[in-house]
């Protein structure tokens, strides 16, 4: 555990600006949640000011108790807001988005883990916003292949699920219902299902992992076909959460980006403030999707 102040490269300006205010008001008007707020993302000012937001589906109460996450833990008791798919589509249209990220809380209280709700939201967005890119960053659905397929049947451009940390630290950091191998299995299932979608995952650094463990995790992700990888610094939400073991330097993140590219990842977004839904990764995904689709048209 470290006690010193955050290094300069982790300091960001307080959120403000006309566009930021518009995004915030739109979210309030449509009664939506964002991971930007619920997870206390440091990039909320930058992303909202640029008109980008990551919508968090299925409420703001998660059934799992991971020690790194600021989202409220509890039992939603199968309550689902049936207006949410349409409201999310309305917000995306009002904000003028051409790339939207959908994430979700874990919903172990639902038979399908919330997969059907995510799929309905994707279809509602496409119905209102033709041509929009949709990224679905979802839970592990307890490893149920049918639930993964339910999401992919709605044809998101990107299917994301985060492994979060290295194998050794999973029992210490993630909820007991999560597992390293289950996360890898879900990503393998997603990659095996035919379609134009990319698969994506993310690793937090600074939890106590070694460099070799990070490289091993990256190799494991490549082995199951993950194409898009993000790496960022873990930031402790509160004193109740897992402590930060160390601050990883920008130079180390650059080295991991190069290592990931050499391993064959199509896209590696690596930096202290990079998050799984950060728009720096979005930029790379857009470019990669254009390449993938151009290749399909030629073949």
pTM above 0.95, yes or no: no
Residue 5 counted as domain residue = no
Specify the pLDDT at position 280.
Answer: 43
The lowest-confidence range among 4-8, 213-217, 235-239 is: 4-8
What number is the average pLDDT over the span 44-71?
79
pLDDT of 24 higher than 70: no
Q: What is the DSSP pairing of strand 267-270 with strand 228-233?
A: parallel
CA-to-CA distance for 280 and 45, rounded, in angstroms? 14
Structural domain boundaries, residue 199: 14-298
**pLDDT at residue 42 is higher than 70:** no
CA proximity to 157, closest of 296, 294, 286, 299 = 286
Where is average pLDDT lowest: 92-106, 121-135, 164-178?
92-106
Q: Is residue 150 a part of any domain in this protein?
A: yes
Question: Does residue 3 lie in a domain region?
Answer: no
The verdict on residue 63 lying in a domain is: yes
Strand partners, 100: 134
- Token pair, residue 158, equals 């990107």
Count of structural domains within the chain: 1
Residue 276 lies in a domain: yes
CATH number at residue 254: 3.20.20.70
| DSSP 8-state secondary structure symbol assigned to residue 208 | S
Residue 158 bridge partners (DSSP):
135, 198
**Predicted local distance difference test score (pLDDT) of residue 94:** 86
261-271: pLDDT as tens digits: 999 998 899 99
Give domain status of residue 7, yes or no: no
Inside any domain, residue 170? yes
Q: Which of 17-21, 108-112, 159-163, 276-280 has the lowest mean pLDDT?
A: 276-280
205 close to 214: Cβ distance less than 8 angstroms: yes
> Does residue 6 sit within a domain?
no
Alpha carbons 152 and 123: distance in angstroms, whole number: 11
pLDDT grade, residue 299 (50/70/90)?
Answer: very low
Q: How far is 87 from 125, CA to CA, in rounded Å? A: 9
Cα–Cα distance, 281 to 18 (Å, whole number): 24
């Amino acid at each position: 555990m470290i006690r010193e102040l955050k290094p300069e490269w982790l300091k960001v300006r307080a959120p403000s600006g006309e566009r930021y205010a518009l995004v915030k008001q739109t979210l309030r008007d449509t009664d939506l949640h964002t991971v930007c707020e619920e997870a206390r993302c440091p990039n909320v000012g930058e992303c909202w000011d640029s008109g980008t937001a990551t919508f968090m589906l299925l409420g703001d109460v998660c059934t799992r108790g991971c020690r790194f996450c600021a989202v409220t833990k509890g039992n939603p008791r199968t309550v689902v807001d049936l207006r949410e798919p349409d409201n999310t589509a309305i917000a995306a249209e009002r904000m003028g988005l051409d790339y939207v990220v959908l994430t979700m809380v874990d919903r172990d209280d639902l038979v399908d883990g919330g997969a059907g709700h995510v799929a309905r939201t994707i279809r509602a967005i496409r119905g209102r916003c033709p041509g929009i890119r949709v990224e679905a960053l979802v839970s592990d659905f307890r490893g149920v292949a049918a639930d993964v397929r339910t999401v992919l049947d709605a044809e998101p451009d990107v299917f994301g699920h985060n492994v979060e940390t290295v194998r050794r630290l999973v029992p210490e950091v993630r909820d007991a219902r999560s597992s390293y191998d289950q996360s890898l299995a879900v990503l393998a299932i997603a990659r095996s299902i035919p379609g134009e979608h990319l698969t994506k995952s993310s690793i937090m650094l600074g939890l106590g992992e070694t460099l070799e463990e990070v490289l091993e995790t990256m190799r494991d992700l490549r082995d199951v076909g993950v194409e898009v990888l993000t790496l960022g610094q873990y930031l402790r939400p509160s004193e109740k959460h897992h402590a930060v073991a160390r601050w990883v330097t920008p130079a180390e993140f650059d080295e991991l980006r190069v290592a990931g590219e050499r391993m064959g990842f199509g896209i590696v977004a690596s930096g202290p403030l990079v998050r799984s839904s950060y728009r720096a990764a979005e930029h790379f995904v857009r470019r990669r999707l254009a390449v993938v689709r151009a290749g399909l048209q030629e073949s």
